[in-house]
């Protein structure tokens, strides 16, 4: 009888251990249930996000809608209804970026702005473009699409633009013409 109890206990123990080690964690798969690859994992509406550094507001992002696709291999956030971004320098001078559509790529820190893109510096220099890329790491703006750049009294038209984010090294590429406005 004692051998039989020992045999049953051993059998139950072996079965339990086998069952325990044969289970695998499916937490990631469980999280993905109901989420299609083509669907965002999150949707935010009426965004008014303020970025701060040492208690000082450095940027203010405003958008009607953000779609979060950061669950993908090459994650991104999409702003299908446009963005308004106010940037503040160390002297609290404001520059503004407006676009009808934007997409921000997580891995490359690249933002693709499209449709009626307008970038206005605190000095009132203004860039108009249909598409503009912003490299957040290098703080660099660029495009190979047609642009109009107003700097002071000059309106410069061209195909392409290359500049630091503060327009200190602004360069219109393939210049089509320059118009000087009267005061």
Structural domain total, the chain: 1
Query: Is 147 contained in some domain?
Result: yes
Residue 158 covered by a domain:
yes
pLDDT tens, residue order, the chain (183 aa): 555 555 566 555 555 555 555 555 555 554 555 556 678 999 999 999 998 988 898 889 999 999 999 988 899 999 999 999 998 888 898 889 999 999 999 899 999 999 999 999 988 999 999 999 998 888 899 999 999 999 988 899 999 999 988 888 889 999 988 888 777
> What predicted TM-score, i.e. pTM, was given to this entire model?
0.75
Number of H helices, E strands in the chain: 2, 12
- Rounded Cα distance, 68 and 35, in Å: 12
CATH number of the domain at 107, please.
2.60.450.10
Query: Does residue 166 lie within any of the structural domains?
Result: yes
CB 148 within 8 A of CB 155: yes
Range of the domain at 72: 38-180
Assigned domain for 8 exists:
no
Report if residue 90 sits inside a domain. yes
Domain presence at residue 5: no
In a domain, 10, yes or no: no
Asked if the structure places residue 99 within a domain, the reply is yes
């Amino acid at each position: 009888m004692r051998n039989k109890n020992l045999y049953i206990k051993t059998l139950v123990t072996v079965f339990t251990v086998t069952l325990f080690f044969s289970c695998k964690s499916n937490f990631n798969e469980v999280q993905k249930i109901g989420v299609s690859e083509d669907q965002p994992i999150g949707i935010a509406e009426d965004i008014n996000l303020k970025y701060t550094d040492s208690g000082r507001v450095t940027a203010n992002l405003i958008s009607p809608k953000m779609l979060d696709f950061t669950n993908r291999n090459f994650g991104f956030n999409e702003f299908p209804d446009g963005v308004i971004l106010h940037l503040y320098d160390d002297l609290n001078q404001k520059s503004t970026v407006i676009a009808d559509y934007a997409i921000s790529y997580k891995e490359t820190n690249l933002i693709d702005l499209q449709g009626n893109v307008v970038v206005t510096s605190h000095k009132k220099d203004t860039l108009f473009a249909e598409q503009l890329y912003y490299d957040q790491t290098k703080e660099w703006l660029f495009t190979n699409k047609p642009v109009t750049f107003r700097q002071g009294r000059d309106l410069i038209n061209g195909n392409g633009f290359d500049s630091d984010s503060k327009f200190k090294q602004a360069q219109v590429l393939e210049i089509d013409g320059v118009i000087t406005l009267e005061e």
